[in-house]
Structure 1
Amino acid sequence: MGNTNEARLTLGIVGAGAMGSGIAQVAAAAGINVHIFDMRADAAANSRNDVAKRLRKRVDEGKLTADEAETTIACLNVADRIEDLAACDVIVEAIVENLDVKRELFKALEGIVSEETILASNTSSLPIGAIAAGLKHRQRVGGLHFFNPVPLMRLVEVIPGPDTTDAVVETLVALGKRLGRDPVVVRDTPGFLVNLGGRAYTTEALAILHENVATPAQIDAVMRDCCGFRMGPFELMDLTGIDVNFPVTRFVHESFFGDPRLRSTPYHRYLLETGQLGRKTGRGFYHYGEGAQKPSADAVRMGAAAEKVFLVEPSDVLKTLALELGVSILDTDDGVSPLLGAPLGEDTTAFATRTGSDARRLVALDLSFDTSKRITAMTAPGCDPAIRQAVINALIGSGRAVTAIADSPGFIAQRIVAMVANLGCEMAQAGLAAPRDIDKAMRLGLNYPQGPLEFAQSIGPRHVLAVLTALQSLTGDDRYRPSQWLRRRASLGIPVWTV
């Protein structure tokens, strides 16, 4: 069933929006004969013209030869009627995310194509099995989920429904490769792989904001500078649009019967309700109007820097940092100097209580990630402001930016990365895809610096487990319950990818 032969493959695309146009462009660039159809008058023709303009612009920029551009454009055809798709080998649907509308389309397509034609949906979250329900030939229906912008995003998720044959899956995988994408076969589950796995990064950032621990600018700066993400979670949500990411988050949360690991916050919903949708409306978590400037994430140096500190617990990393700061490390607590700690998963309050330290003089530093550019400092309620500022001054004096936050178990980075890793482990536990494919999908689909299981392995599964265990204990929230996949591999001391 289906055919990816270079000479014979004909691809139909229903939906001439951004996704449909992008799919058409990469397919035509691969030498595939493409037929674009859209119910809206002139939409398919406009799509073809827009693709042609983009390609010719690349010629002007010296990124494409004129022959390559015109050869690609010649592969793009406008279908005036849905019946014009009858001879296609594969048809990809890229219309509105509405189950009833998609079902109606697939029934219409089934009435005009041959039994050998593969019908694929570019849905980002709707179950493939639900789309295919009611069709006579459900075995030839599958998911082929691309990512926007299609010409730049290499990932494509291939999703078999309950009746999809292996031959159809193999054909869709081969088609994805021919289009220059990296296919990952994913189980038919709400949100598939990327839209499910991507919830952790943003919803944990929202939880930290909800607790008034840090501002969006502070959280974004930490995730960029300390963890290597290209965009912070709030920058990312403003870019995709609150009208996109909140409904997806709510859908995934509800689809998993209210799993607390997937929930959002009231403020996320509030932005949607008040029309503060991000860049597209000029205001979301940030302002984007003329002259608007992003709030600073950096603490400011004021006064003298600390000269002496006492390390609450032995720590080679903390000792090395203190020496870099040029401060003297006391052998015993003198009762007046700043106390430094580097807790794992604990907040400053819990750390002070456990160690019997004076919380008024204790400054906790997150040393779990890269601190060459930025370091996160937090203190417990009632901390002496002068002590806090003296430590911040010393940190700034070392050439680092400092993000000073309120008390939080796991700081910022520990919390967010642990949740990303934990959700990745849970997806592996549920068998949504092979562990290595989960990592590949998250890197390619979301531009993560590492996949979730790679994060767990590079930090250390036991380290991640310790952070989650402390978070669950201190908050009493099952949002932080560790995945059994993670617990077992951390306990056995084996790589997190081990099946």
Structure 2
Amino acid sequence: MTALQPGIQPDRTVAVVGAGTMGQGIAQVALLAGHQVLLYDAAEGCAERAVRAVTGRLDRLVAKGRMRSAERDAAAGRLCPVRSLAQLAGAGLVIEAIVEQLPVKQKLFAELEAVVGQDCVLATNTSSLSVTAIGGALRHPGRFLGLHFFNPAPLLPLVEVVRGFATGEETAERARATMAAWGKTPVRCADTPGFVVNRIARPFYAEAFRVYEERGADPATIDAVLRECGGFAMGPFELTDLIGQDVNEAVTRSVYEAFSQDRKFTPSLAQRRLVEAGLLGRKSGRGWYEHGEGTGADAVRPEPHTAEPCAAPREVGYRGRLTGPAAVLPQMIGEAGVGGVAEPAGQAAAGGGEAGTGTGVGNGTGAAPDAHRPAPDGCIVLPGGTELRLADGRGPTNAARLGPRIDFDLALDYRTCTRVALAPSATAPEADVRAAIGLFQALGKKVSLVGDLPGMIVARTVAMLVDFAEDAAARGVAGAEDIDLAMRAGVNYPLGPVEWGRRLDTGWLIRFLRNMDREYPGGRYAPSQALRRRAALEESLVQS
């Protein structure tokens, strides 16, 4: 068995080709790891300007007390612009960060291969192109791989170490060890569209944009619900304004095309219109929000929809048993001074469901459950008889054929969240809508009323993230632990999606996605084989 190679040592030169924002960030990371760094750009004077920009950032680190002056001087002395690829001959690692065009990258690496030594590792920072395709024209593709940094590279810890079809194991391990030595969080993954983060993160944007397109809620409210109920650091509208609508939409479209236009990855028409209008976010002064022309400042956003104070009911009923994250709600309601009465076992109104927490999938036959049959999850019964239920993927009004209902959204943690979204059916009495608002306000939550749409906001987003992660793990894109690490370190999710899925009842996830698939036929929400397999395994373990 061949011994794994250590990382590239600090006495070896690192070269960065492409002196834009990403190239500058990568050069700074390598520089602070102790390497001599050569910076090349084909545009006249660009490398020199980039060196000045990087040294300016080092100066700011000194001013903030994060770096000593002597360290700054030593680092600046190791950074050098070069004017030809021939000057990179002695590099031990070359990282490319140029335009995302396959022929341009292929040509560059063919030229680099003729210049550098045989032990030099060649890496692309591509975020959307095939690593295998870029390296396909090389004579020795075994030393070529992807090192996908996240912007800003000096601040964000994640680096996806992408092994192309021909990448050697020693090259991949050597690159991983180097990234770890640079203080990064390396995650090894296969060369598939979007790698880990850009593949699995698509629903975070797509589901929010779909809610907006269906007039379920405005951007400020959707962002607030995902932050304050779902636990995400930023909402998708504010985040894409920061990234750039053109950049985010281009990645989405690239992944969509790479997956042969799979409907699970369908781009947003609303976002496409923003791009076509030149409303790109902070860099253009306006995107989903107004930012002020040329300021790059945070937007002065509209306030999210927040319900006015309502009186809490004196007492609510319970039908069945709430499960998963919602299981804590009866205790919280009791602590808030609201009484609760459980129905006798076996008694249920027309809209009620059977009690139970099992992970049963569908109706036990393998067929999708009827979208209008009672779900086996418990619910809260409001004074007027309306059921208050965790979103299950059915539209509230569609599901209300069995009686009026109000859906509440999934929360990361109902105790610590500060906002909850409610979606009343068209048949829900106004008095019960006010009672539901008052009930959650009594628990210390702000309440946002959203449109009568299937799956609400957090629930549909999380269910899709979990499904995408399970599918990626099953297909060998990366291990489950690495997927969770990548999503936490790369896009700052409050939980890795695989772990999040483990905390949720698998039966609920399957029922939720199957109901969504019935509401939106076409396969976008059909649960993956990997998730169905997991649910079947859990069910068999329960029954054994």
Normalised TM-score (structure 2): 0.84
Deviation at 1:424, TM superposition (A): 0.6
Aligned residues: 489
Match of 1:497 in 2: none
Match of 1:224 among 224, 227, 237: 227
1:321-342 per-residue CA deviation (whole Å, 9 max, x = no partner) reads 5445545557789997262321
Match of 2:518 among 451, 462, 473: 473
Give the SS at the match of 2:145: strand
Match of 1:73 in 2: 76
Written as runs of structure 1 = structure 2, the 5 A alignment for 1:68-467 is: 68-289=71-292, 293-301=300-308, 306-307=313-314, 309-311=316-318, 314-315=321-322, 317-323=328-334, 326-327=337-338, 329=340, 337=384, 339-345=386-392, 346-353=394-401, 356-357=402-403, 359=404, 362-366=405-409, 368-372=411-415, 373-467=418-512
Task: Describe the shift of the 1:368–1:240 C-alpha distance in structure 2 as closer, same or farther (beyond 3 A).
Answer: closer
Aligned equivalents of 1:10, 1:303: Cα separation in 2: 66
Deviation at 1:109, TM superposition (A): 1.3
Give the SS at the match of 1:342: strand
Task: Describe the shift of the 1:86–1:314 C-alpha distance in structure 2 as closer, same or farther (beyond 3 A).
Answer: closer
Give the SS at the match of 1:415: helix
1:218-265 per-residue CA deviation (whole Å, 9 max, x = no partner) reads 221111112211001111111101110111101101110121111122
With 441-450 and 169-178 compared, the bigger mean Cα shift is at 169-178
Give the SS at the match of 1:280: helix
Task: Describe the shift of the 1:81–1:465 C-alpha distance in structure 2 as closer, same or farther (beyond 3 A).
Answer: same
With 86-95 and 299-308 compared, the bigger mean Cα shift is at 299-308
User: Does structure 1 conserve the Cα–Cα contact (< 8 Å) formed by 2:391 and 2:410?
Assistant: no
Deviation at 1:123, TM superposition (A): 0.7
Deviation at 1:14, TM superposition (A): 0.5
Match of 2:50 in 1: 47
User: Does structure 1 conserve the Cα–Cα contact (< 8 Å) formed by 2:95 and 2:125?
Assistant: yes
Aligned equivalents of 1:335, 1:106: Cα separation in 2: 66
Task: Describe the shift of the 1:379–1:90 C-alpha distance in structure 2 as closer, same or farther (beyond 3 A).
Answer: same
Task: Describe the shift of the 1:256–1:367 C-alpha distance in structure 2 as closer, same or farther (beyond 3 A).
Answer: closer
Task: Describe the shift of the 1:318–1:65 C-alpha distance in structure 2 as closer, same or farther (beyond 3 A).
Answer: closer
AA in 1 matched with 2:165: P
User: Does structure 2 conserve the Cα–Cα contact (< 8 Å) formed by 1:155 and 1:182?
Assistant: yes
Aligned equivalents of 1:284, 1:396: Cα separation in 2: 32
Aligned equivalents of 2:45, 2:5: Cα separation in 1: 29
With 45-54 and 235-244 compared, the bigger mean Cα shift is at 45-54
Aligned equivalents of 2:233, 2:484: Cα separation in 1: 16
Aligned equivalents of 2:149, 2:132: Cα separation in 1: 18
User: Does structure 1 conserve the Cα–Cα contact (< 8 Å) formed by 2:388 and 2:436?
Assistant: no
Task: Describe the shift of the 1:302–1:193 C-alpha distance in structure 2 as closer, same or farther (beyond 3 A).
Answer: closer
AA in 2 matched with 1:490: A
Deviation at 1:438, TM superposition (A): 1.0
AA in 2 matched with 1:195: N
AA in 2 matched with 1:217: A
Aligned equivalents of 1:322, 1:179: Cα separation in 2: 49
Give the SS at the match of 2:470: helix
Give the SS at the match of 1:13: strand
AA in 1 matched with 2:54: V
AA in 2 matched with 1:182: T
Which runs of no fewer than 5 residues in structure 2 stay unpaired? 344-348, 350-380, 540-544
User: Does structure 2 conserve the Cα–Cα contact (< 8 Å) formed by 1:462 and 1:491?
Assistant: no
Deviation at 1:17, TM superposition (A): 0.9
User: Does structure 2 conserve the Cα–Cα contact (< 8 Å) formed by 1:310 and 1:337?
Assistant: no
- Choose between structure 1 and 2: higher helix proportion: 1
User: Does structure 2 conserve the Cα–Cα contact (< 8 Å) formed by 1:238 and 1:279?
Assistant: yes
Aligned equivalents of 2:92, 2:413: Cα separation in 1: 50
User: Does structure 2 conserve the Cα–Cα contact (< 8 Å) formed by 1:349 and 1:407?
Assistant: yes
Deviation at 1:318, TM superposition (A): 4.9
Deviation at 1:369, TM superposition (A): 3.7
User: Does structure 1 conserve the Cα–Cα contact (< 8 Å) formed by 2:229 and 2:410?
Assistant: no
Deviation at 1:269, TM superposition (A): 0.8
Aligned equivalents of 1:308, 1:129: Cα separation in 2: 62
User: Does structure 2 conserve the Cα–Cα contact (< 8 Å) formed by 1:340 and 1:365?
Assistant: no
Aligned equivalents of 1:170, 1:389: Cα separation in 2: 59
1:162-208 per-residue CA deviation (whole Å, 9 max, x = no partner) reads 22212211221122112211211111111111111111211111122
Give the SS at the match of 1:186: strand
Aligned equivalents of 1:318, 1:155: Cα separation in 2: 36
Deviation at 1:134, TM superposition (A): 2.2
Task: Describe the shift of the 1:331–1:490 C-alpha distance in structure 2 as closer, same or farther (beyond 3 A).
Answer: closer
1:66-106 per-residue CA deviation (whole Å, 9 max, x = no partner) reads 12222222221111222111111111111111111111111
Task: Describe the shift of the 1:307–1:66 C-alpha distance in structure 2 as closer, same or farther (beyond 3 A).
Answer: same
Deviation at 1:390, TM superposition (A): 4.3
Give the SS at the match of 2:524: helix
With 324-333 and 385-394 compared, the bigger mean Cα shift is at 324-333
Match of 1:489 in 2: 534
Give the SS at the match of 2:406: strand
2:37 corresponds to 1:34: yes
1:132-180 per-residue CA deviation (whole Å, 9 max, x = no partner) reads 2222222221111111111111111111222221221122112211221
Deviation at 1:465, TM superposition (A): 2.3
Task: Describe the shift of the 1:220–1:49 C-alpha distance in structure 2 as closer, same or farther (beyond 3 A).
Answer: same
Aligned equivalents of 1:482, 1:264: Cα separation in 2: 19
Give the SS at the match of 1:26: helix
User: Does structure 2 conserve the Cα–Cα contact (< 8 Å) formed by 1:223 and 1:229?
Assistant: yes
TM-align CA RMSD: 2.6
User: Does structure 2 conserve the Cα–Cα contact (< 8 Å) formed by 1:304 and 1:390?
Assistant: yes
